[in-house]
Structure formats: C-alpha cells, structure tokens
Amino acid sequence: MNKDTSRRVAVTGLGIITSIGDSVPAFREGIFNGKCGIEPISLFDTTGFSCHSAGQIKTRGLEGFFNPREIKRNSRCDLLGLIATDEALSDSGFDIAKYTKEKIGVVLGGGAGGMLSWEKYRRALCLKKARPKPSLLLPTAPCTLTDLVASRYKLTGLRATICTACSSSATSIGYGFDLIRSGDQDIVVTGGSESLSELTFSGFHSLRLMDPEYCRPFDRHRRGLSLGEGAAILILEDYERAEDRNATIYAEVLGYATNSDAVHITSPDAEGMSRVMVQALRNANVNLNQVDYINAHGTATRISDQMETRAIKKVFNGECAGDLPISSTKSMVGHCLGAAGAIEGVATVLALHEQVVPPTIHLEVHDPDCDLDYVPNQSRKQEVNIAMSNSFAFGGNNTSVIFARNKVKTREFKSIQ
C-alpha cells in the first residue's frame, strides 16, 4: 500500500433498489416526496406475528432483471445487489476495459446474505417434504455478492465483505475511502444488499422491537422499527481521475469512523454514538458548524432514537444542534440492516447533489425526548454542503460517514413532483 493521504475520493456512480424505487431516479423521487414503502409482506407467511408489514420490494419482479437460471442459482439478496451494482457501474460511466482491473476493488457490507435460500432448504427438511435442492445452500455465505460482483465484471482488486449488522455497508464506504486515499485502489465498488428473511423478521419480533404498523422515527408514539430490504452501491473513485474523465461527481467522501460502545449486545449507547460522530468529523477534518445535514440511523425504536438525539445534542451542543436538519430514510424504506448504511449513503449523497433534505415521514407528534429538527413529512430545499450519515448496529458497532457536496453538478434528474 502506497501511503498517499492527499488523494481525494469522489462518488461517481450510484445504484439502488428499495421498496420505494428500483433505480436512482425512482428512489430520489421517493425520498424527496416522502413515499412510504412499508406494506404487507408477501415474501413469507407472517401468521402468528404481531407485525405483518415491511419495506418489501414489489415494484417489479426480479424476472425483469434476470434470466430464470440466474434467479434459480442466486439468492434474493445477491440478485438485489447485482441490480444495484449494474446501475451504479453503468451510471459511473467508466470503461472498465481501460482500467487496471487489480486497482478496482469490491468492498461490500453484508447482513443475513442468502438466509432466505437457506430457510427454504431448512424448512423443507424440517417439514420432511421432498428432499430440498442443495443448490439453495450455495449462496448462503455473506460474501457471495462480493464474489459475484467481482467475477461478473472481472475485477481483481481487493475483495472484502464487512458484517457488522446494521453498520456493515456504511463501514464498506469507509474502507473503500481508505483504500483509494492510500493509493491501494483507484476505484472501489462499495455498498451492500439485504433481503427480508424469516430469521431476521422473527428475531426483531422476538426482541419486541417492531412496530405492528409502520415505523415512526422520532415520533412520540413510535413503537419500533419496520424491517426493509434493498441494495445500494456507491462507486468510489480517485477524485483526480474522475475529474480527468469528466465524470459526474455526485459528492466527495471526506472521512469516516467506526467504534464500539462496549456496553451491550443490543442496547444502543449515546456515549459511543457521540464519540463516533466526533471521530468521523475529525477524520474528515470538518468543524461542527460546517455540518448542514445528518442522515440519522433513526430506527424508530424508543431507546435508539432517544440515544441518537442525545448523542447529536452532545456533539453539536451550543453550535447548531437545534437548527441542524436530521432525517430518517428508514421511515420510508424500513430498516434494511446490512444494506441500510449504503441506502442512507445514497440518500445523503442525493441530498448534497440536489440540495434537498429528505424528510422523516410518519412524524406527527412531538416527543420531548426527541426535540431536534427531524424535517417532518416534507422534504426541504436548502443549501447542503457537508452531511453526515450515521449507522449504529447490534453489538455496539457504530459508523459515521462524512460526505461533501461537489460544486460542479453534471447529472440532471427531472424535477421532483
């Protein structure tokens, strides 16, 4: 690794599929219009649960993207990830053939991976139905998508899969940033994918962390999170190279930090959250008063929203905590676990690129414990130069990523309705 900390890191390609949109333009329209993708689940039977809804992707069948063989051989999680990767690489506009492929890395965040495929296999065994197909087991490992992406595009650079639950794909952006900044890689495919599965659904249900209807981050009557599924990919690139080839630079990654609460396996801690935000700002060389927007972790569990609010107030106290727009993308797409950090990374980058702060929807009743500006229900047109995206995971694994606006805006979307 050649140490060259002067390299800057640009975001030059975006790809996304969520319950509110299966492309970047559709997702952008969804988040800026406050669309809710949380609806009844059809992917598996929810009889016996107190919750029956999630941010399941229904807009288009996967048949629209893949041939039957690909659908049969790959997990739902991996297929979602490939959809987002195809869009992001196409969006970035670089000709892979012209690049040294060993300087293009793939660093993705994983969650439950191919759990849904394993569940099909295990359920069939348990119910002693016809012998299940062993091929269902092949995509079980959390890193399958990373290998698939690298092999599909013949990318031979560094390959890694980070699995820190809900902060996995946020950390993948951070590691991609390190690899480019140090000169080890010129381009890194970062992001993550997650599909709904019975295991995660019943897991959060067993912990009584799910809202029976839809999640309401920072609302007084919030009752928990809604799960979601989706994939998001951010193509990170050496800034100078991106400029040289006149690429659209959506935003710049300025820095990140990860840390550990070291307190509890499931319960969040405001102290750890505040420390990671401060460390990320320090890593990005950004002052408190320069931050214009925070894309919150904002799960809508009682304690997590309270802790995050407390942490933001501690970090920005006396500076701008009360005036700082904060919003939760999870209010629209649900909590996409391993993909959440990347989905929220894309939302943050779009906020910088479009100069619009997306809203927190379903926020109706003020909570005295959550007394900041959460941009309720309506997106807001305003100047956004520097933004922070927070991800806090089970196990106390926290990550904050700092993005900056790129002043030269080259990709134009159609205006928001």
Partner 1 sequence: MIDIAVTGIGVISPLGIGRETFWESCRKAKTGIKKITSFDTTSLQSNIAGWIDDFDPRRFMPPGCYRRMSLVSRMAVASSIEALADSRLIPDSLNRERIAIIMGTAYGSSFHVEDFYVSLLEEGPRGAHPFLFPETVPNAPASHIAMYHGITGPNSTFCQNEISAENAIMYARNLLSQNLVDIALVGGADELSAMQYTCYDAVGALNKVRAEEGETIRPEPGSGLILGEGAGILVMERFDFARQRDARIYGVLKSGTIRGGVTDIGHYEIEGEQMARAVFLAIEDAGMNPGEIDQIDISANFTGELDRMEYNQLRQIFRGRSNNLEVTPLKYLMGDFGGAGIIRAAAILLSIYNKLPLPTVNAEVLRSEAGNFPVWNIPPAGKTSTALMTSSTFGGGTSSLIFTKQ
* Span 189-228, contacts to partner 1 by CB under 8 A: 198-199, 202-208
Candidate residues 9, 163, 235, 236; the one interacting with partner 1 per rule CB under 8 A: 163
For strands 187-194 and 104-110, give the pairing: parallel
Alpha carbons 261 and 368: distance in angstroms, whole number = 25
Ranges within 316-345 binding partner 1 (CB under 8 A): none
Among the candidate windows 62-70, 152-160, 291-299, 302-310, which touches partner 1 by CB under 8 A? 152-160
Output the CA torsion 135→139→145→146 (10° steps): -100
For residue 255, the cross-strand partners are 402
Helices and strands counted in the chain (H then E)? 12, 14
Contact with partner 1 (CB under 8 A): which of 90, 246, 266, 289?
Answer: 266
Residue recorded with tokens 């205006």:
415
156 binds partner 1 (CB under 8 A): yes
Backbone angles phi, psi at 160, to 5 degrees: -150, 150
Tell me the two tokens of residue 312. 């933001």
Distance CA 35, CA 359 (A): 10
Question: At its nearest, how many Å lie between partner 1 and the CB of residue 217?
Answer: 22
Is 353 in the active site? no
Q: Smaller CB distance to partner 1: residue 68 or 368? A: 68
Q: Which of residues 269-298 bind partner 1 (CB under 8 A)?
A: 272, 275, 279, 283
Nearer to partner 1, 78 or 354 (CB): 78
Any catalytic annotation for residue 264?
no
Cβ closer to partner 1: 60 or 264? 264
Interface stretch with partner 1, choices 29-37, 126-134, 313-321, 323-331 (CB under 8 A):
126-134
10 Å CB burial of residue 291 (0-12, 13-18, 19+) is buried
**Per CB under 8 A, which region of 7-15, 161-169, 312-320, 352-360 contacts partner 1?**
161-169
Least spacing, CB of residue 52 vs partner 1, in Å: 11
Which residue from 60, 123, 221, 381 is in contact with partner 1, where contact means CB under 8 A? 123
Is 52 catalytic? The answer is no
CA-angle at 277, arms to 176 and 403, nearest 5°: 45
150 sits near partner 1 (criterion: CB under 8 A): yes
Strands (DSSP E) found in 289-355? 293-295, 326-327
In angstroms, what CA-CA distances link 177 with 98, 187, 240, 372, 397?
Answer: 22, 9, 14, 30, 19
Pick the closer one to partner 1 by CB: 151 or 382: 151
Q: Which residues are catalytic?
A: 166, 297, 335
